[in-house]
Structure 1
């Protein structure tokens, strides 16, 4: 990895990524339906003769699919090539921001322009050292402004992998919470700083959830309009649109609805391979968490689990699920 002159990177700001790009399909009802089914969004505004597209689909109408777009400028590829050559070979998406001046409706023809809005100075993060690159896309529907999409990535050189501690054999039925705490902090190595888990992004919409976790309570929102439970926390109901809600405390019983085993990429404070599961709670909502108490290769769909709280880095609590708990009712 070598440091690049910042003025050389900054020169790419304002350069086009795409000019007069065109969406491959008109805004259409089948894609809206597939999106809503995948997201579990039953808002009636997205159905019927006066349907609009979910606003957060904005980027979907501009994507090139497997064949990609052929009208992209060379500036973005040049910038990536420059960073690759300096050793910043990894990339991770960090966040996006969208604005919606007008709703999209079936039949709208989408066009767009995109520019490299900003390239940050070199930053050091837990993942590694690199530069944040922000692109801004202006989306039009039949020539009218319909949305702005800012997308930010980190192009970085990965931090050195922490020395892996000797592997331990997990005994069947192991129940000591200290074992999971040790696994969470396993990336600590002599002479190197302790790797810390990423902190959750806490905002005004989900602060109540994390306040509950801090006191060992898993709180689920319940819509004050239609009574539908929901997770993760949202400012309003995606079913009836009501902004009113209250909370109920989950019993903690659940089952593994689905899971994946993470092998790559490695991150500090995580020791692959490990299982990441989608847990279906007895209250009817699902959440992503870790399954503890069994080796990663013993996690199975339908496995009963029970909520526990794991102290992480000695300062905050994390909800996890222990295999062998009560079956969700």
Structure 2
């Protein structure tokens, strides 16, 4: 995990897997998401309240990743898309068969509005030196998913810290 295998340092800070969402932000998804958790905030249900408070309808900030998750299947798409592909690439290239999310932070910027088309990029922020934990020996890495609207405004950053590891004896 050191020496010539430090190829990943070249990826730090470089946007990867930039992807435009397959569908725009839509009110039906917002209502379904709010209904599933019984979120009755008028900001997400009442157009007049949304106009007064935020200048128009917005999506709940907690739905940010909804606009990033590709559908499992779509016509004319040959490959299945995986969210957080940069993470899976690291696991594979580092030959670390196991991984957990040890920390997740979501920072909101501009509101996501009905009709926005989101673009995401995955940015590797850091990779640690080898560590040994109760789970095994491996590396921690941080991947940020940056979300931007069709105007290029940053609307949020979803930051994941992973621990990829090999169990003792593997």
TM-score range, shorter chain: 0.7 to 0.9
User: Which residue is 2:69 aligned to?
Assistant: 63
| C-alpha distance in 1 between matches for 2:16 and 2:147 | 13
Match for residue 36 of structure 1 among 22, 29, 34: 34
User: Which residue is 1:46 aligned to?
Assistant: 44
Could you say what the CA RMSD is over the residues aligned between the two structures, in angstroms?
Answer: 2.6
Contact 2:24/2:116 (<8 A) preserved = yes
1:172-224 CA distances to partner (integer Å, 9 max, x unpaired)?
xxxxxxxxxxxxxxxxxxxxxxxxxxxxxxxxxxxxxxxxxxxxxxxxxxxxx
| C-alpha distance in 2 between matches for 1:96 and 1:77 | 17
1:125-148 CA distances to partner (integer Å, 9 max, x unpaired)?
222221112111221122222112
Contact 2:72/2:81 (<8 A) preserved = no
| C-alpha distance in 1 between matches for 2:38 and 2:133 | 34
Runs of 4+ that moved beyond 6 A: none
Alignment partner of 1:94: what SS?
A: strand
Structure 1 runs not aligned, ≥5 long: 161-329
1:221-255 CA distances to partner (integer Å, 9 max, x unpaired)?
xxxxxxxxxxxxxxxxxxxxxxxxxxxxxxxxxxx
Match for residue 95 of structure 1 among 77, 82, 103: 103
TM-fit CA distance, 1:159: 4.5
Alignment partner of 2:11: what SS?
A: coil
User: Which residue is 1:106 aligned to?
Assistant: 114
TM-fit CA distance, 1:61: 0.6
Instruction: For 1:179-328, list aligned pairs within 5 A.
Output: none
TM-fit CA distance, 1:26: 0.8
Normalized per residue, the structure richer in helix is 2
Alignment partner of 1:98: what SS?
A: strand
Instruction: Tell me, yes or no, if structure 1 residue 115 matches structure 2 residue 123.
Output: yes
| C-alpha distance in 2 between matches for 1:11 and 1:145 | 24
User: Which residue is 1:10 aligned to?
Assistant: 9
Q: 1:78 to 1:105 in 2, by over 3 A?
A: closer
Contact 1:17/1:76 (<8 A) preserved = no
Contact 1:12/1:79 (<8 A) preserved = no
Alignment partner of 2:137: what SS?
A: strand
Structure 2 runs not aligned, ≥5 long: 51-56, 74-79
| C-alpha distance in 1 between matches for 2:69 and 2:163 | 20
User: Which residue is 2:91 aligned to?
Assistant: 80
1:94-113 CA distances to partner (integer Å, 9 max, x unpaired)?
22212212111211111122
Q: TM-score, normalising length from structure 1?
A: 0.41
Alignment partner of 1:11: what SS?
A: helix
Contact 2:91/2:99 (<8 A) preserved = no
Contact 2:87/2:143 (<8 A) preserved = no
1:229-282 CA distances to partner (integer Å, 9 max, x unpaired)?
xxxxxxxxxxxxxxxxxxxxxxxxxxxxxxxxxxxxxxxxxxxxxxxxxxxxxx
Which of the pair has the greater relative contact order for Cα pairs under 8 Å at 6+ separation? 2
TM-fit CA distance, 1:77: 5.4
Contact 2:34/2:40 (<8 A) preserved = yes
Alignment partner of 2:100: what SS?
A: strand
